[in-house]
A and B are shown apart, each in its own frame.
Chain A
Amino acid sequence: MNYFTELLLTAAAAALVNNVVLSRFLGLCPFLGVSKKTETALGMSAAVLFVMTIASAATWVIDKMILRTLSLTYLRTIVFIIVIAALVQIVEMILKKKIPSLYSSLGVYLPLITTNCAVLGIAIDNVQKGLGFAVSMASSIGTSVGFGVAIVLMAGIRERIDGNNVPDSFKGMPIVLITAGLMAIAFMGFQGVL
C-alpha cells in the first residue's frame, strides 16, 4: 500500500470509525461541558488539536529516545503525564508571549486540557501499538479532528435543543446524553466504510 494512503486511512479511521469521544469515551468531560455553544466548541477543538499533536510528537520522541533505549518502558505513565502537563504550561507561556492573538482565543481552554484523558490516552495508545512517527502523527491529528467533529456537531444540536419542548426530567444533561448515544449509533455506521 502506498505510504500516503496508509497515513490518510489511519487519520480517517481515527477520526470517524474509532471516534475518540463516541466510541472510545475519551475526553468526555470537555465534550459534555464545553459543548453549549458552537464558538466555544470550535475553540476547544482547536486547542485539543494543537496540544494533542504536540504532545504525541513529544511523547513519541521521548519514548523512542529515552524509555526504549534504557528499557524503562514501564515508566511510561509517569513520564507521559508529566511531559504533557509541562508541555501545556510551556505552550501556554510561549503563546502568551509570542502570539497573543492565538493565546486570547485558545488560552482559556489550555489549562483544562492537562487532565484531559484523550491527550494522555492517544499518546500511550500510539506508542503501545508501536506506530511509526508519521503514522502516529496522522493518528493523533485524525483523533483530534474526530473530537472536533463530535463536539461541534454536539454544540450545534444543543443550540437547537434549547428551543425544543423536552420532557421535564430529561432537561439538561439527560437529553444531551441521549443525543450523544444517537450520535454514537450514527458513527457506528462508519465501521462499514473502512
Chain B
Amino acid sequence: MKNITERLYNGLFKENPTFVLMLGMCPTLAVTSSALNGIGMGLSTTAVLIMSNLMISLLRNFIPQKVRMPAYIVIVASFVTVVQLLMQAYVRSLYDTLGIYIPLIVVNCIILGRAESYASKNPPLSSLFDGLGMGLGFTIGLTLIGIFRELLGSGTFLGMNIPVFTDNFTTVSIMVLAPGAFFVLACLTALQSKFKAPSATNRKNGFACSGNCHSCKDSGCSIQKSFQSDLTEKEAAK
C-alpha cells in the first residue's frame, strides 16, 4: 500500500513527466492549444502507459535482454492501436482534433522510458501504479499548460467564455498558435531556473531525451542512472 502511494506521489510530483523530467515534449507543445485537448491527450497516454507497464512487468522474465526494445515497442504499439480504435469509435471529435498525435503516442519518450527504467524490473502491481502516477502527472501538466494557453489565447476555460478575459482586453491569439506553445514553455523553464526548481532543464546537459538510453550520454538523468546501475549489476553477475 505504501509502495502504491509512493508511486503515485512520484509520478504526480517528484518526477512529474512534464514539469520535472521534461519528457514527451512533442505532444506537450502540439496539443495544448486548449485544456480539453490536453486532458484528452493526457488520458489516452495514461491508458497506454498503464496497460504497457502492466504487460511489460508481467512479461519481464520472459523477454530476452537483447530484443527487449523491439518487444517493448510492439507491446506499446498494440495498446496504442487499441486506444486509437476506441477513440475513433466513441470520441470521434477528439480523435479528429488530436489526429496524427494519437499514433505518435508509440514514440512518446515517457512510455518507453518507464518501461525501461521501472516496469522491466518491478512487480506488476507497482508498475501499474507507476504508470497511473506518471500518466496522471502528464495529464495534469498538459491540462495546466492547456488552460493557460486557452485562457490567454481565446479567453475561454474548457470552452466556456470567461467575460473578464474577453471584455477587458483583447485576447493574445498567438498563444493558441504554434509560437505560443514555445513561449509558454520558455517562460515555464525560465521560472524553474529562476526558482531553482528540480527540473531536467536545470541540469547542464538536460532536456531533449528521446527515451533512447542506449545512445544517451547524460549521466545525471534518473532513468539513465537506473539503466547504468542495471548494466553494471549484470556485468558483475557475469
Q: Which residues of A contact B (CB under 8 A)?
A: 22-30, 32-34, 74-78, 81-82, 85, 108, 111-112, 114-117, 120-121, 124-125, 128, 168-175, 177-178, 180-182, 184-185, 188
Contacts and interface: CB of A to CB of B under 8 A. Distances in A.
B179 A81 contact: no
A128 B194 CA distance: 44
Given A120-B106, A120-B107, A173-B201, A28 B29 contact: yes
Contacts of B178: 22-23, 25, 184, 188
A129 to B, nearest CB: 10
B100 A128 contact: yes
Given A30-B208, A116-B210, 6 more contacts: A26-B30, A32-B25, A74-B85, A78-B74, A177-B189, A181-B181
Interface of B: 25-27, 29-30, 70, 73-74, 77-78, 80-81, 84-85, 100, 103-104, 106-107, 109, 112, 174, 177-183, 185-187, 189-191, 193-194, 201, 206-212, 214-215
Contacts of A30: 208, 210
A26 B215 contact: no
Contacts, number: 138
Contacts of B207: 32-33, 173
A130 B210 CA distance: 29
Given A114-B212, A172-B193, A173-B189, A25 B81 contact: no
A172 B186 CA distance: 10
Contact of B209 (A29, A74, A82, A171): A29
B189 A77 contact: no
B26 A28 contact: yes
B193 A77 contact: no
Nearest to A187: B178
B106 to A, nearest CB: 5
B191 A169 contact: yes
B112 A115 contact: yes
A26 B26 contact: yes
A112 B216 CA distance: 9
Nearest to B25: A28
